[in-house]
Structure 1
């Protein structure tokens, strides 16, 4: 059975739940993340109730750094996750990292996911041009299909560019390398019917999935 791993990337207090330091679109990311996770967890729980292996698992990615390099010091309030894995659910896991790419920081992660039947990585989170982009590239390099959820990733305004412009640039970069970009509202947490009947972007083209 082809399975999917939903990556929730670096949605941490410093970036998404602190009015003084959060990205400008933090509320959008929190609201979108809440709905995405609610849908994903419903799918997982439904499968578990029927004693089936769910098509989906959730990977919560948490960045950590030393104080000299930034505020996301392990154990600090800034470092804490806005969305956390459920302790009692085997299909939700926490992955720590200290570089942008979660796969580079965790060399066994790709193998572990493949052993669980995962073929597709669906990603959202913060920051678009940093850890989201790098982790998506790492997933592609490891041979996974990659879907980026449009509207559910963002960043800061940087170097005269708005966060929205950077989001678009990241999506374009990933599309040219074979990833898909799907509006988060259209994504459904089912390996067999992930976005049936919706428009998705793949490669450099737009497809209508029937």
Structure 2
């Protein structure tokens, strides 16, 4: 757990400028601020997140730290903006860490299988991902390795060994079915986050 936390801290620290650049337009839109103010806030949020993680704190500690910093917006909006920054940034870091660990163990795994939480919260554009089973190195995973959207994506991909594949008793998704499914997938990260999608470039 400590090793994973250190990986997350390193990822977030190394991508400070990329994160600030990506979050600035999101904050401009959310708060109707001008770009310099939004960029400054993104920097403050990044610094507070680093402080929180280095202290082995939680999201609650992060939100308290932001509340004490007095960034000058209404408390409810402040909590929403800061919470979204924390959740999404951590999601990106975890996805990158998970993908690196999978690739390091790639000789063990032969396939990957996607799962989607199909409930009322799931966006319609996610459903087609559910159950896709493909070879570990299939190029599809470069396009659709979760998270596939900035918000609310509860999709996941699990690596599968040959023995697990045999026990599953499911066929590998055919290229025809894959093309049909991919035509129904509709999710995308904002363009400003493109350089942060390490988990899709491995």
- TM-score normalised by the chain length of structure 2: 0.29
Structure with greater strand percent: 1
- TM-score normalised by the chain length of structure 1: 0.28
Structure with greater helix percent: 2
